[in-house]
Amino acid sequence: MTYAEISIKKGGEWKMVTKVNGKEQYEYKGGTFENIDELAVPEEYTDHSFFIMI
């Protein structure tokens, strides 16, 4: 049996940031992580946006 928890941040906001390599992307700033049962990711989501914690 495998078990995993998934959490997302709530109470923050999406902000456009410029990374050190010059690329721009959205990151989720602020808020706190809350456990959830399922997830549909928003359009701004990338794999490095600090929105999901597994």
Number of domains composing the chain? 1
Residue 50: the pLDDT is 76
Residue 44 lies in a domain: yes
Please check whether residue 39 lies inside any domain of the structure.
Answer: yes
Question: What pLDDT is stored for residue 4 in this prediction?
Answer: 82
Angstrom distances, CA of residue 33 to CA of 1, 11, 23, 28, 47 = 25, 9, 26, 11, 16
Query: Is 1 within a domain?
Result: no
Cα angle 53-8-23, degrees, rounded to a multiple of 5: 75
- Say if pTM beats, i.e. exceeds, 0.85: no
Boundaries of domain holding 18:
6-53
Output the pLDDT for position 29. 92
6 forms beta bridges with 36
pLDDT at 54: 66
pLDDT in tens, 6-41: 888 899 999 999 999 999 989 889 999 999 898 887
